[in-house]
Amino acid sequence: MPNAASSSAATVWAILRKECRSEWRTRYGLNAAVLFAVTSLTAVTFSAGRMPDRPDLLAALLWITLLFAALASMSHAFVREMESRTLLLLRLVASPTEIALGKLLFNIAFLLVVEAITVPLFLVLTGAPPVRLTQFLTILGLGTLSLAASSTLVGAVIAQTRSRGALFAGVSLPLLLPVLASGVAGTRAQWDGMPILADVRLLAAYAVALLGVSLLLYDHLWED
């Protein structure tokens, strides 16, 4: 019998590749997400203007923009499966956890692409002071992990309800507030030259907890 974990990995990898190929073929998910992110970014930075000397506000606005971008784009991963009715196909070839992991990895990659465009743009438009790259990216990366983990689970839950779009943001928010708080605090700290260890630890612990618990729950999501 092949080793269970490595064979699961093969399935997860197949699902991840399928998601990427699907997104590449249609591309509407990514286009819409980037457009939304840039739009909200523009609205925020236009209204707030340049603020090179306000790291506290900069940190807050950056994370709010990221949060909105995630909330707007992350629900589509599972909603699309529901709408195209392909969830049955997935459930017949892979276990719920494997499906979820595949989607999670895709969501992380997706968010990273959106951030790669949005974050530099934000820094430029607000005239932000130079960032300490390692620290800044660590906070961003860990926050992205939590954003993706939460969005994947909530997306899977919401896809089975009647009022998807409106609900997704409201149901996600309580889960994402800790990310917001630590992300903002950590980003501000790296601009202030303060240590970020506490925030990093929090973000990491929270991401691990979210991931761990959500992986246990996926088996219960689809039973009809």
Residues forming the site for other proteins (CB under 8 A): 2, 7, 10-11, 14-15, 17-18, 21-22, 25-26, 56, 84-86, 88-95, 98, 150, 153-154, 157-158, 160-163, 167, 170-171, 173-175, 177-178, 181-182, 184-185, 188, 202, 206, 209-210, 213-214, 217, 219-224
- Judged by CB, which is closer to other proteins: 143, or 178? 178
Nearest approach, Cβ of 202 to other proteins (angstroms)?
A: 6
Q: Which residues, 6+ apart, have CB-to-CB distance to 128 below 8 Å?
A: 51, 52, 58, 122, 191
Separation CA 51–CA 58 (nearest Å): 7
Q: How far is the CB of 216 from other proteins (least distance, A)?
A: 8
Which amino acid belongs to residue 131? V
Integer Cα distance of 151 and 60 in angstroms: 20
We find the least distance from the C-beta atom of residue 76 to other proteins, in angstroms, to be 14
Residue with smaller CB distance to other proteins, 37 or 101 = 101
Residue 190 to residue 192: CA distance in whole angstroms = 5
| Phi, psi (rounded to 5 degrees) for 9 | -60, -40
Q: Compare residues 39 and 84 and give the one whose CB is closer to other proteins.
A: 84
Tokens 């457009």 belong to 35
Q: Indicate the residue among 86 and 134 with the shorter CB distance to other proteins.
A: 86
Provide, rounded to whole angstroms, the least separation between the CB of residue 17 and other proteins. 8
By beta-carbon proximity to other proteins, the closer residue of 107 and 182 is 182
SS3 content of the chain, % helix, strand, coil (to 5): 85, 0, 15
